[in-house]
Structure 1
Amino acid sequence: MKVEIWSEITCPWCGLGSHRLDNAVERFEHRDEVELIHRSFPLSDRLPVGGGLSVRQGLKEIHGVSGDRVEVLPRRVEALAEKEGLVPYIVLENEVGNTRPAHEFLAYASAQGKNRAAWDQIFRAYFGEARSVFTVEALLDLADELGLDRDETRRVLGDGRFRQQVQDEARQAQRLGATGAPFILIDGHYAVPGAQDTDTLLRRLRQAWDATHPPLVQLPLADAEGACGPDGCAVPATHPAGA
């Protein structure tokens, strides 16, 4: 079973949604047969390259949030994360910025076989430690932590060789009907928008599995032991297979 999740790195619901999906897969009876793939859905083109804008400023100036909601909305996500064991989870006292370079870094890490490790690492760095993920140097530090070649990572970020892939992944999500992030697709057919809770995600995994793996129905054979009928032959009780 292939499970794909599209995320924006600095979206607090995406970090929480990824955590919930991990928990759902861990509880899923067929978890060893799940291929979990993270994909990019950048939503930060209006934000400054290099970061430096506080979450409070971003909510006010970019998203038009005003009044108490500037404090209430981030605190709500932080409280949900804490309730689900995702601590620390820093939203309000963080910075935002343009994430295009970070998504290109993640695409490169994925090409090196580190898709899930890279996404887990960048969410942990950003929400768990309030580290910048907006500058080349910050991304090179992440490359070191993932065991990626620092010089090659710098070249990748400089020449933009994964820029088209990031754009294509975002367009793919939109073609599938995504209007925001996170967005989950199970086996290419079952879409789950938003940061659904773990129990809901687990039900969706089970529903998708049951739809593609119908149970085996065994019909009875003839009553006569060892007799062959028009539909097959029963195994005699004296046969090794029936013993």
Structure 2
Amino acid sequence: MKAWKPVWRWLTASVAFAGLIAVAIVVLGRKSDQKPPGGASAAGQPATKAPKAAPSSAGDEALVNRMLDQIRADKPVEPQFPAGDNPASGVPIAAIKAKPGEQLGLGRLVIPRLALNDELNNGVDDAALEHGVGHWPGTPLPGSPGNSVISGHRSTHDKPFLYLEKLRPGDPIKVTVGARTTTYKVFKTTIVPQAQYVKFVLRQPTDPGVKEITLFACNPITAHIQRIVVQARAA
């Protein structure tokens, strides 16, 4: 009997191994029945499309539907934050870019509520906004009478204006240009359609002695069909 023990052990191990292989084949076979190739159901019928998700807002509807179509077609899905985060979209470059030879850096923008302390550059074109926020050329410099217009990205580069909507009336905004620092207090936040934002943000106060500042950025973050505009006034 001792001579038969190695053979018996070998037969037992072989049977157990064969059993494991059989179980694996059955499991894999069931999975293939549940998810046959070609998108068909287990009954051989074409798989029905998942219902479209309700958009979070009317402005997001086109983006949501487009992303769903990309998922269903097994195509790469575009990023949630589009690469075209351009607050000054639709404006001629000559109106938003500083003149050749002008100093790019103007000073700094500080917003305590947003923990923001960023470089202020001259221009709201891509070059000016790449490393900070930008001043719209042709509008008064911060600290001067009139409405000084400043723009920044919300979803690309350093995202300085990502949380612009968190500003509340009375929040301070400090701007330093040269040796002069001016403190403004927020008084209004507005959402403006893209087609109307240029005229809105460039509007100057009726009182020529008033010092105002206007911050604007793309809105909503996922669609960029509007602009969020924050207005503040110096005491």
TM-score, structure 1 as length reference: 0.19
Q: Which has the larger radius of gyration?
A: 2
Structure number having the greater strand percentage:
2
TM-score, structure 2 as length reference: 0.19
